[in-house]
Amino acid sequence: MKQPGTSGLIFNEPQLWEKSREGRCAISLPRAEVERAEFDPSLTGDAPDLPQLSELDVVRHFTRLSQWNFGVDSGMYPLGSCTMKYNPKTNEVQAARQGFAGAHPLTGDEFSQGALRLMYELEQLLGEITGFPAVTLQPAAGAHGELAGMLMIHAYHAKQGRQRSKILIPDTAHGTNPASASLCGYESINIKSGPDGILEPEAVAAVMDEDTAGIMITNPNTLGLFENNIKEVCEIVHAKGGLVYGDGANMNAIMGVVKPGDLGIDVLHLNLHKTFSTPHGGGGPGSGPVGVVDKLIPFLPVPRVERDLDTYKFVTDCPDTIGRMHTFYGHFGVLVKAYAYILSMGGEGLTNASKYAVLNANYIKESLKGTLNLPYDRPCMHECVFNDKHQQEYHITTMDMAKRLLDYGFHPPTVYFPLVVDAAFMVEPTETESKEYIDQFIDAVKAIAKEAAETPEKLKKAPMLTKVTRLDEVTAARKPCLRG
């Protein structure tokens, strides 16, 4: 099968200051209606060193930079644990509508009814999908949602009259979980998963006591496996007065199929920039709404959106609230996109998205399990985890294979995570990839595995077709170039 990777025309592009020429200007400024004033450094300091460029300079510069980037609109992005799915362009259209894009957070409730209604209805929709009676949209990202959830657990125990000191975290949980717990003053107690890659109730019962605030569970976990014992684990934690935090970052595997609120989970965050198809920006903005059970509603962040007949309003009179987690009410533009995604998909569409995500991951797992080593050979959910055990006799590592995938035109999968699997090679195709694209990826991995056996020296030099070839990562870590 023909691969998408090729060696094409790749432009070099200097910094804008290197292209700058005195007197060039990319725009024609209108005639000034006031007298020209000379710049006075004594009043304002030195003038900013801005490049002087023609319009063509500017257009070519940013066009060339865009050609260096790789995104889901360019090709398959099988980054495990990240859910890099295609974002329908209708979401962008709706978020760009003037009524939303031009809305100002200080306008007041009376003139923000449309925005407030959208947020209220999105909360209701997310609550219905997850099985929770109340949701806050305020957290700005997944880890921010984690922190909000843990702050509510902390506030709940304080309200009970006795704060606790520990939190249980499985080795298959997301890496940010211990940080969120630590920020709330909890000591993280690691629990090892069982031989099947999931939590064993006995392991939880052995460490759960009255000084433990609860447990943080990622389900499906970072091995891409559903925690079959989740209900029993929740019962063990609840019996000791603890609460269960659910990391919903992997909700894309169970959306429309399983409601975490029905499993015994007390608080759950979602990643709108994953499951609900809003873009992963260059570090943001994301969105991490949090759903809670009834007893945690008083602790939700403020302001909260409430409906009174056909009027919507912000409410801040909540004495037990953990306070604000964000200025105003989160990343509103991201919320519009998620709302548009849910409405355009409908309940059946959301359910099918999960089913196709699971189908695609299992198709890859079954297709590659003879090529790469599969530590946990059982049905997976949205992602599957391999490693380089079969390639070690040729001295080829997971990193070598990941680098070589760039030459075949694919973004590499997540590597060396989760830590439960040595030299992990973690693939998440998502539901938006067709069989044709997935087959191309499978063929590329098989071709690379063949190269590992026949010409391992080639893989040690990969990538060879990219603008930047194999980097000296050890030197980069020890002697980073901090020029900015």
**pLDDT digits 0-9 by tens, 45-91:** 777 888 999 999 999 999 988 888 888 888 999 999 999 999 999 99
CA atoms within 13 A on the CB side of 183: 16
435-454 helix and 398-407 helix, angle to the nearest 10 degrees = 120
Please state, for a pLDDT cut of 70, what percent of the chain lies above it. Answer: 98
Domain limits, CATH 3.40.640.10, in the chain: 90-344
pLDDT of 281 strictly over 70: no
Asked if residue 216 has pLDDT above 90, the reply is yes
Give the Cα separation of 369 and 374 in Å (integer): 6
Q: Is the peptide bond before 178 cis (omega within 30 degrees of 0)?
A: no
Structure confidence at residue 42 as a pLDDT band (50, 70, 90): confident
Residue-level pLDDT at 109:
94
- pLDDT higher than threshold 70 for residue 311: yes
Q: Is the pLDDT of residue 362 over 70?
A: yes
Question: Which of residues 230 and 49 earns the better pLDDT score?
Answer: 230
Joined together, the tokens standing for residue 80 give 């495990």
Q: Is the dihedral of CA 17, 18, 19, 23 positive or negative?
A: positive
Residue 349: pLDDT over 60: yes
Give the tens place of pLDDT for each residue, 377-401: 999 999 999 999 999 999 999 999 9
Is residue 484 over pLDDT 60?
no
CATH number, domain 90-344: 3.40.640.10
Q: Which helix (H) or strand (E) holds 292?
A: strand 290-292
459 pLDDT higher than 60: yes
Token pair in block for residue 440 = 């191309």
Look at residue 483 in the predicted model and tell me its pLDDT: 62
What pLDDT does residue 418 have?
93
pLDDT exceeds cutoff 80 at 278: yes
What is the per-residue DSSP string for 84-102? -----HHHHHHHTSHHHHT
Residues 148-202: pLDDT tens digits?
999 999 999 999 999 999 999 999 998 899 999 999 999 999 999 999 999 999 9
Q: Considering the chain, tell me which residue range(s) the CATH 3.90.1150.10 domain(s) occupy.
A: 347-467
Structure tokens at 460: 């040690």
Query: Strands, E, within 203-266: which ranges?
Result: 212-218, 243-248
Output the pLDDT for position 480.
86
Query: Mean pLDDT in the chain?
Result: 93
Q: How far apart are CA 399 and CA 394, in angstroms?
A: 14
Residue 191 DSSP label: E
What is the pLDDT at residue 269?
97
This prediction's pTM: 0.91
Query: Of all residues in the chain, what percent are helix, strand and coil, respectively (each to 5)?
Result: 40, 10, 50
CATH code of 347-467, in short, is 3.90.1150.10
Q: Report whether 217 contacts 265 (CB < 8 A).
A: yes
Residue 39's Cβ-count burial label (10 Å; 0-12, 13-18, 19+) is exposed
Rounded average pLDDT over 78-106: 93
| 421-435 average pLDDT score | 97
R_g over Cα of the chain: 25
Task: Look at residue 139 and tell me whether its pLDDT is greater than 60.
Answer: yes
More confident residue, 402 or 74: 402
| Contact between residue 303 and residue 314 where contact means Cβ atoms under 8 Å apart | yes
Q: What is the mean pLDDT of residues 289-309?
A: 97
Q: How far is CA 103 from the centre of its chain?
A: 26
Structure confidence at residue 210 (pLDDT):
97
Average pLDDT of span 231-254: 97
> Helix, strand, or coil here: 260?
helix
* Average pLDDT score over residue span 311-318: 96
Does pLDDT of 457 surpass 90?
Answer: yes
Question: Phi, psi (5° rounding) for residue 170?
Answer: -65, 160
- Give the angle subtended at the CA of 349 by the CAs of 274 and 131, to the nearest 5°: 65
Task: Return the half-sphere exposure (C-beta side, CA atoms, 13 A cut-off) of residue 199.
Answer: 32
The mean per-residue pLDDT over the stretch 93-106 comes to 94
At residue 358, the pLDDT reads: 98
